[in-house]
Structure 1
Amino acid sequence: GNFSLVLLKPFEGVTLETVRRTLIQHPDLLLSLQAQMVPTLVDVTLPRFKVTAVCGLKSALTSLGSGFLFDRFQTNMGVVSRHGHAYVSNMLNAVSLDVGPASSQSSEEDGTVAASTAALAFHADRPF
């Protein structure tokens, strides 16, 4: 599959809250920037971080015609429950992204050095 990751590094002195407000006030800004992008090899350096997002699927599944799963009068999932009548009260989807230096550490430990052919560099080397 294809994956993409958009990284934004605020200018020195610009807070993350300012960036967040700007993106909220101008929701088409990222789409506009993406339309101007071209595939480019970039050397990326990031500090270790973990991001987790959880979202409820009830409204999405209901709009797709599966709302009956969440209605205790329309659904009886007793065959999957030893307690008798059962239905789904909510359904969640969780995604976690854990970015760390593991791949760069392993190459340094075995003595190999990866040569970067990237013309551009993105280094998140300061707090923001």
Structure 2
Amino acid sequence: MSASPTAAPRHPSTTPDVARAAWGTVCLLAPGLVERSLAGREPDVRARRVVRVLGARHLVQAAGARLLPPHLAVGGGAAVDAVHALTAAAFGLGDARRRRAALADAAVAAGWCVWGVRRYRRLP
């Protein structure tokens, strides 16, 4: 049985969206834990705020992935993750004190981007 041409596009697997929502929740609720894990030191107020903002972004992106059409959600999400990775890397290169955390964050964002690009290529 095939889908009708007017049927809403089917969303891909929810696993990445659940993983993103979980990561965003951890960042939002336990920014100190995330910062200690990424930076290897106790976070300051600014670092905790940044981690919380990034956590909120991940939650919004996970929700958008379920609400928006799949091509827009997955492709747009991968683009947002790519920009995040590039800006975090640039920030890390420019701030020696926060370099380790910023470059780790850039690596995480790059991973999300790669996952998104792979998902996008598998969309019907």
TM range (shorter): under 0.3
Q: TM-score normalized by structure 1?
A: 0.21
Q: Higher strand share goes to which structure? A: 1
- More contact order relative to length (CA 8 Å, sep ≥ 6): 1
The structure that is helix-richer by fraction is 2
Larger of the two Rg values belongs to structure: 1
